[in-house]
Amino acid sequence: MEESLLRVEELHKSFGDLEVLRGVSLVLSQGRKLSIIGPSGSGKSTLLRCINYLEEPTKGHIYVNGHLVGEKLVDGRYVRMSSKELAPQRAEIGMVFQNFYLWPHLTARENVAIGPQRVRGLSKKDSLDLADMMLEKVRMARKRDEYPERLSGGQQQRVAIARALAQEPRLMLFDEPTSALDPELVGEVLKVIYELADEGRTMVLVTHEIGFAQEVSDEVIFVDKGRVAAHGPPCDVLQNPQQERLCSFLGKLLGS
C-alpha cells in the first residue's frame, strides 16, 4: 500500500456560528494530485488554509508525512504548537494563493530568496542562487530583477510559485491560482503547474478549471456545504457524475 503523505481526519472549522467545514476527511499518497472543486463558499479555500494551519481547525487532525501538523500529543491530549514549532512544518507545505502577495519593494529574485534565507537559514548567496533556479523552472529568469508592479498577473503568479518551490516542500497547495488572472494569462500559469505535476510532486489544487483538473488529477473531490459530496478519479467525478448536486454544479460551470 502506498504511504499517505497527507491525511485529514474529520476536519471541522467554524467562524463563530458559521460552520464552514463539517467533517472533511481525505488521504493523499506521495506523488498523487488531488483537485478540489465546488461552489463558492463551500469551504474549499478554508480546507487548504487549515492544512497548513493558516487557519486553526475547530476539530479534527491533519498529518503530513505521518506527523501531526499544528499540534502535538502531551499526556494523551492534543496541544496547539507554538509558532516556532509550527514554522518548520509550514516549510514542508508550499502554498500558492489566489492573489500573489509579493513584496512590492523586492525584485522577483529577492521575493523568492527571502524565505530560504529567513526560514531555512541559507546564506544570501545560496538563497539567491536557489531563487535563480526556481525562477528558471517557472520560466521567469529573464524577469528576475523586475519589481512586481512591472510584471503581468501571470508573471507575478509564476514568481509566487517559484517562491513556494524554494521552500523545497513535500506538499504543494494551490488555491485557485488562476482566478485573479485575465483569461489570456491563465494558460501560462496552468502550463507551469502541469509541468510540476509531471515531475511527480504531491499536489492539492482548488480550481474551477475543470478541463485542467481532469487532465492533471489522479483524484477529484467535490465539496458542497462543507462536506465531501463526491470523491473519485476524474473520469467518474467529472465525466460521469452521479449526484444531482454535482451534475448541477458542473452544468453551470461548463455552461451546459
pLDDT (tens digit, 9 = 90+) per residue, 159-202?
Answer: 999 999 999 999 999 999 999 898 889 999 999 999 999 999 99
What was the pLDDT predicted at 184? 86
DSSP 2: P
Radius of gyration for the alpha carbons in the chain, expressed in angstroms and rounded: 18
- In DSSP notation, 167-196 reads T--SEEEEESTTTTS-HHHHHHHHHHHHHH
Model's pTM, two decimal places? 0.93
Contact (CB, 8 A) for 177 and 189: yes
What was the pLDDT predicted at 1? 39
d(CA 104, CA 69): 31
Low-confidence ranges of the chain (pLDDT < 50): 1
What CATH number was assigned to the domain covering residues 32-53+87-254? 3.40.50.300
Beta bridge partners of 80: 71
Antiparallel, parallel or unpaired: β 4-15 and 18-29 = antiparallel
What was the pLDDT predicted at 120? 82
What was the pLDDT predicted at 180? 87
| Cα–chain center distance at 54 | 12
For cell 519593494, the residue is: 105
DSSP 145: T
Cα–Cα distances in Å, from 157 out to 16, 119, 163? 33, 21, 10
d(CA 12, CA 185): 35
One-letter amino acid identity for 67? H
Positive or negative: CA dihedral 34, 38, 40, 44:
negative
Q: Count the residues in the chain.
A: 256
d(CA 53, CA 187): 30
